[in-house]
Each structure stands twice: as structure tokens, then as C-alpha cells.
Amino acid sequence: MIFLRRAVQLAVLTLLVVPIIDIPRASAGTRERTDAAALARRMLAQLKVAKPLSIRGYSHRRFQPRWAHHKGRCDAREVVLARDGRAVRRNAACHPIKGRWYSPYDGKWLKNEKQVDVDHVVPLAYAWRSGASRWSQARRRAFANDLTRPELLVVSHSVNIAKGGQGPQSWRPPRRAYWCRYAISWITVKHHYRLFVTRKERVALLNMLRTC
């Protein structure tokens, strides 16, 4: 049983950590996607279902006064841009000056760093209403700069603006082929941080998992 559980967890990690640039072609087999979706459903079933909390008191700065540094001069945003990009060149201050980035939400290739955003898969405002308002400042900062869970992702600026702080019951990636991974990422983050889900959010996530 322990071996089976570890095998399924490995399948989830395999699905989530494959570089974004590989997404246009099949990056994981049907078996891996099926196993990852099954684990995501079990994690989702463990999350508390509740009504959203008030947005009162929320501010982006309550999570992220600035991007946290992770590697020398590189902050979390710069690490993600290098991780998710192709042929990325950085200056002495670690800021990308050249590269190509694929936005899995809408399927766009972008050649200018100014055209891309690093998206919080579970938006900060949404996390606030899902229980993060009760966290310490340190925990909120860790959430906003998390490079371990699938919380930070390079996407096009335009699709990030369209998403805003919405949950899956209100907004889904325009590219339907990404719904499976998006739902798994969302559930993985919420499960790790023990954030609750709303009833409509849960239904939307289950519907997206059916595309796996």
C-alpha cells in the first residue's frame, strides 16, 4: 500500500514539474495523468468545504511586499522566468534580458519579458478568502514565493489580467488542454496549505479533472 501511494505521488510530481515549454506535445502518458488526477480527487475530498471569507483587510502587501530572494541576487520571479523559459539570458542582477516563454493558459509564445507575468495559480486574494487571512505574515509570504508547489507559473500578461483573482468556478484557462494540469496544480496547492474550497469551486475542479 505504501509502495502504491508513493508511486502515485511520483506520478503527480512528474506531471507537475515537466517544463512548461514541453506542453504543446504530450508531456506525460495517459497512465500518469490518470494517476495524478485520481490523487488530486482524493486530496480534494480531504479539503473542507465552506463559504468564502470576507475580502476585508486584504492587500497584496499582506502576502508580498516584494518578491523573496532565493538564489543569490535572484528573486522568486526571476527564478521562475528562468525555469519556465527557453534560451533565457540574464544580466548581472539576474533579470532576464532575452528569452522565449510559453503561456500554457492561452498557448502563446512570447519573446519579450514585458509580455509575461508570473501568475499565482491560486490568486493571493482568493487564498485570503480561503483561509489565508488567518495566517501569519511569514506564512503568507512563503505562500506567495513558493517554488516547491505548482503555485508560480509564467503566463501571458493579457491572460493573467483576464484571470485576476478569480477561482475555477468563474475562470478557466482559455486553452482547454491545460484544464487537467490547472486543476491538479490548484488542488495540490490548496491541499498543502490546508485552504478550504467552496462548493461551486469543488464542482468546477472535478469537472476539469474529467479532461485528464
Q: What is the pLDDT of residues 55-79, one digit of tens each?
A: 999 999 999 999 998 877 899 999 9
Task: Using alpha carbons, select from 152, 163, 135 the residue that is nearest to residue 63.
Answer: 135
Chain centroid, CA 100 distance in Å: 20
- Tell me, rounded to whole angstroms, the distance of Cα 130 from its chain centroid: 16
Q: Which residues of 142-181 are buried (b: 16+ CB within 10 A; e: fewer)?
A: ebbbbeebbbbbbbbeebbeebebebbbebbbebeebbbb
Q: What is the pLDDT of residue 23?
A: 37
Give the whole-angstrom CA distance, residue 59 versus residue 173. Answer: 25
Residue 21 has pLDDT above 70, yes or no: no
Domain count within the chain: 1
pLDDT value at position 29? 72
For residue 166, the enclosing domain spans 2-209
Compute the average pLDDT of residues 168-197: 98
Q: In the predicted model, is pLDDT for residue 8 greater than 80?
A: no
